[in-house]
Amino acid sequence: MEKPLTEHLGADGRPLTLKEYEKVGGYESVRKVLKGMTPQEVQGVVKDSNLRGRGGAGFNTGLKWSFVPMNGSKPKYLITNADEMEPGTFKDRILLEGTPHQLIEGMIVSAYAIQADVSYVFLRWAYKTAAETITNAIREAYEAGYLGKNILGSGYNLEMHLHTGVGRYMCGEETALLNSLEGKRATPRAKPPFPQVSGLFGKPTIVNNVETLCNIPHIVNKGADWFKKLSLTGDSGTKIYGVSGKVKKPGAWELPMGVTMRELIEEHAGGMQDGLKFRGALPGGASTDFLVEKHLDVKMDYTSVAAAGSRLGTGTLVILDDKTCPVGFVQNLQHFFAQESCGFCTPCREGLPWVEKILNSIDKGEGREEDMKLLEFHTKYLGPGNTFCALAPGAMEPLESALKYFREDFDQHINEKKCSYG
């Protein structure tokens, strides 16, 4: 089984130096594209590979790039979204800390594909080790001539900078990230115009997730067909999956796209802790709908998880066991979303704290029957189309599905006026 993304993770917790990385084929894709491929050809192979964005939205990466005007205004920007803050998600940290050169290689090739002049890594504050590994890797890449002016004598120029954020989930939303990089409050922007046309400082900009960009060197080196064959299903490539919660061996693993939820939990995560049963899971972070026991054999790819009524999201499962209160679980999620709402649009700013308070009351045994109607109302009212960005609709996904799958728990809290999970 091929594991292109994690094959060269530093074994002793230290990432490969540039020299070591070159010895295992590192930066080959930079040579390949600068010496013999047009930007359009690079875009083409990535589009053909059907690489879908690993940040959660799952949009075809090559297609996203193709909206950047090739002869538009300068400078153009390529930005790595390394603001991994989706609760339950810890996959990009592994790549940032373990293979920083793979990310930088992917960024250079991707920047070339859209003819970007400047690139940024937008890194969340909490990833201190990653800040060191990326800083060192960028410095090494400059010294080796992979960054800066006239890269490898090709005439192509690219600058790269690390930007560490100062906290806020909203920074992961790509237009809010751009505002944050411009030194503003991280509120989302209206689309259109899309960032590909008018992004950072009003210039054409691509924002891609860490895992997405780490795939690029391999696709360019080995081709679209190879990438498609890595997967078990129609969505190409491998995926870094993770499992957290009360399983025996929580962790993250690079596996073929399309393994089942059952395989992840039972084989890789060692099954549930003794005495606990699986009750449900968020398949890809806090803003995805619960999947339950009947979904255990769902293939973990974009298409199959969507067909099961949820989203692959970041592909990192958070497990709900039978001794953990589903009401408390959802209350914790809504507390997060209410706190992280940027406050820009009214339904999200006012609605999420209301939802949180209702769930608090129910959790404490002070809920009323009509609260259930209020929660249901909010799942629609804060759903897609009623808010400025995807934060509140994302928050409603676990709530709506919890009301569907764990309804008896909500009713029991209200009827018995207590939480019986202790």
Partner 1 sequence: MLTPEEKHEIEKAILLVPAKKAACVEALKIVQERRRWISDESLNDVAAFMGMSAEELDSVATFYNLIFRRPVGRHIILLCDSISCWVMGYENILTQLTQRLNIKYGETSEDGRFTLLPNPCLGTCDCAPALMIDNDLYRNLTVEQLDEILQKYH
Helix (H, G, I), strand (E, B) or coil at 91: coil
How crowded is residue 101: how many other Cβ atoms within 10 Å of its Cβ? 27
Q: Which CB atom, from 26 or from 242, has the smaller least distance to partner 1?
A: 242
Q: Of the two residues 53 and 245, which places its CB atom closer to partner 1 in the complex?
A: 245
**Is-contact 266 243, C-beta < 8 A?**
no
Q: How far is the CB of 234 from partner 1 (least distance, A)?
A: 28
Ordered alpha helix ranges (H), 144-233: 174-181, 210-222, 224-229
For partner 1, the binding residues (CB under 8 A) are 84-90, 92-93, 124-129, 161, 164-169, 180-186, 201, 242-246, 250-252, 282, 286, 316, 318-321, 324, 328-329, 332-333, 335-336, 339-340, 342
Provide the CA 7 distance to its chain's centre, in angstroms. Answer: 21
Closest separation between CB of residue 42 and partner 1, Å? 27
Q: Could you tell me the smallest distance in angstroms from the CB atom of residue 370 to partner 1?
A: 27
**CB of 153 or CB of 183, closer to partner 1:** 183
Q: How far is the CB of 161 from partner 1 (least distance, A)?
A: 6
For residues 180 and 167, the answer to whether their CB atoms sit within 8 Å is: no
Kindly provide the residue ranges of all beta strands, DSSP E only, lying in 293-355, ordered along the sequence.
316-321
Q: Within its chain, how far is the Cα of 157 from the centroid?
A: 29
Nearer to partner 1, 30 or 200 (CB): 200
Least separation in angstroms between CB 168 and partner 1: 6
* Phi, psi of 69, rounded to the nearest 5 degrees: -65, 130
Residue 152 or 162: the one with the smaller Cβ distance to partner 1 is 162
Pick 147 or 282: Cβ nearer partner 1: 282
Q: Considering beta carbons, is residue 144 or 162 the nearer one to partner 1? A: 162
CA–CA separation, 238 vs 279, rounded Å?
27
Shortest distance, CB of residue 182 to partner 1, whole angstroms?
Answer: 5
- Look at residue 255 and give its three-state secondary structure: strand
Q: How far is the CB of 138 from partner 1 (least distance, A)?
A: 13
Give the strands of the sheet with 291-292, arranged side by side.
251-256, 238-244, 316-321, 278-282, 291-292
